[in-house]
Amino acid sequence: MITSIFAVAARLVPILLILGLGNLVRTKALLSETTIEELKGLVVSVALPAVLFGAFLEMDLDPSYLLIFVVILLICVVMYGIGVTIRTRIGASREYYPFLMTGFEFGMVGIPLFGAAYGLEAVGYIAIVDLSHELFIWFVFVTLLRLRRDGGGSVTQTLASFVRSPLIIAILAALALNISGIGNAFEASLAGQTVLRTLELLGGMLIPVILIIVGYGMRLSPKNALATVSVVVPRLLLLIPAAILLNRWLSAVLPDFGPAFQAALFTFLILPPPYVIPLFMSRDKADERSFVNTVLSVYTAVSIGIFIVYFALNPVI
């Protein structure tokens, strides 16, 4: 028992320490906001695609995963609808409330938490869970955000953003190699081994850099506290039971939906709303931006706390 507690602590304490380091970096002004944004760009454009390419290339894809694809897509759509309904019923003035009720910060929070706790080799499981979510974010979520900000949107612009995303390019390329069967030959070749080793080295910076970035951005303030609770509490009250029930159902209907997928699904559904929301908000909405950023910070802290409890109870997948 004591040995298992120490084993769990050995995985969790470094996560907390690096998050604390990120917060210290901000309070001591060791890095500027501009530098953090540049690091974030490096992570999103290089490290995340590198990790996801390897994960999808080596993942044993099964047609039954289509059910996971549909379930996650439905959750995203339903949660947005619930957000719209709640905002209408309570007469909330926060126009971005529905966007905070749906979507999950997979890249900046999901991968580092899951990968740090269970190992980067297990990232493929949460990547499968995330797959339809990426389509929702790029084709629905971002389009609606643009409509909210600009009063109009372009299908061409959305499609161009999707196609240019390094993350999407990496996922599609790996899926193409995997499904076509060329992946095995690619991995066996000298060129393939060189590419994969390069991507492995690039992916090595992913977890510590992201945790520092997340720690840097966590600003917990009493301002907007009540409004923040109005997002965090109902969202988690819906998604945590949903995660538990879905894990039971999917493990019963899908033979391969074992502990690794169950941990991935639970982790995914407790993640904070997407960090891209402030990027698509008007500059003149200072109060709304403050509200959204506060929600993202508080929700991130709560998500990490819930994940720590879950991992302590489920240290092995």
Say whether pLDDT at 229 is over 80: yes
Phi-psi region of 315 (alpha: psi -120 to 50; beta: other; left: phi over 0): alpha
Q: What is the Cα–Cα distance from 26 to 213, expressed in whole angstroms?
A: 10
Domain, as residue range, for 233: 2-313
pLDDT of amino acid 55: 80
Core vs surface per residue 259-283: b (16+ CB within 10 A) or e: ebbbbbbbbbbbbbbbbbbeebbee
Say whether pLDDT at 245 is over 70: yes
Say whether pLDDT at 41 is over 90: no
Q: What is the pLDDT of residues 53-70, one digit of tens each?
A: 888 887 777 888 899 999
Amino acid at 121: E
Instruction: State the CB neighbour count (10 A cutoff) for residue 31.
Output: 16
Q: What is the pLDDT of residues 122-177, one digit of tens each?
A: 888 999 999 899 889 888 888 888 887 766 656 676 677 777 778 788 888 888 88
Task: Give the chain's end-to-end CA distance (angstroms, integer).
Answer: 18
DSSP state of 272: P
* Range 13-37 average pLDDT: 86
Say whether pLDDT at 1 is over 70: no
Lowest mean pLDDT among 13-17, 233-237, 273-277: 13-17
Output the domain CATH number for residue 33.
1.20.1530
Percentage above 70 pLDDT, the chain: 91
C-alpha 81 chain-centroid distance: 20
pLDDT of amino acid 39: 86
Q: What is the Cα–Cα distance from 116 to 312, expressed in whole angstroms?
A: 13
pLDDT of amino acid 36: 85
Q: What is the pLDDT of residues 109-118, one digit of tens each?
A: 898 889 888 9
**pTM across the whole model:** 0.84
Count how many domains the chain has.
1
